[in-house]
Amino acid sequence: MTIDKNSTTDFGYKQVKTEEKEQLVAGVFHSVAQQYDIMNDLMSFGIHRLWKRFTIDASGARPGNKVLDLAGGTGDLTAKFSKIVGANGQVVLADINSSMLNVGRDKLRDLGVVGNVDYVQANAQALPFEDNTFDIVTIAFGLRNVTDKDEALRSIYRVLKPGGRLLVLEFSKPEHELLNKVYDFYSFNILPKMGDIVAKDGDSYEYLAESIRMHPDQETLKAMMETAGFEQTSYHNLTGGIVALHKGFKF
């Protein structure tokens, strides 16, 4: 992909040169990697575990499947998929950020998750896999950080097998205005302070809150998936739409 050196894109609420966003996002996740799991539990009150369990249940994963856990970070989904697909299956934990990938690898090995898991540093916009490789691709809380989401969706579509499915678990647009106001207050007043205390980096968590607001809403993301080629697209709102699970198939 050739990037116009004059083009800009969002980095939270800021506009930055498109060619710079990847490195800026990398800086965020290099900074928060070591405290990422602790912060996930704190800032979601542990509910992220239920969102991920719902995603696993919706995946239809079964023994022998080949699964790509894209932007898989510290490997929560990979650990669960590893048990489901078994010795004849394979899970690839892929992340663009080396710090997150290293934390994920260490965590999963400490948990005894070995044998059917591979680790790959990869950019979602240019996945280093052959066409028609995976039965399932998941991307959980990662798509909003990708510079070109449309290109990433096309890349994912390419590496899925015919009949395969994509699941996108991501923060989205709350369904009710009162919930939206409460969520905004929490995101911009409490979350950065929590990040400052626990991860020693309030700025990164301020970016993460802003990136959620800049991410496409439920219907927009559904349309983007369809433009990339996915069929039978749908989404399910979780926790009042704070999070949504989008699903689409390649036929």
Q: Has 239 been labeled as part of a binding site?
A: no
Which residues make Cβ contacts (< 8 Å) with residue 36, sequence separation at least 6?
A: 29, 73, 74, 100, 103
Q: Has 124 been labeled as part of a binding site?
A: yes
Q: Has 95 been labeled as part of a binding site?
A: yes
User: How far is the CA of 159 from the CAs of 56, 90, 124, 179, in angstroms?
Assistant: 20, 15, 11, 37
Q: Has 74 been labeled as part of a binding site?
A: yes
Q: How far apart are CA 249 and CA 9, in angstroms?
A: 29
Q: Please give the annotated binding residues, written as ranges.
A: 74, 95, 123-124
Q: Please give the annotated binding residues for S-adenosyl-L-methionine, written as ranges.
A: 74, 95, 123-124
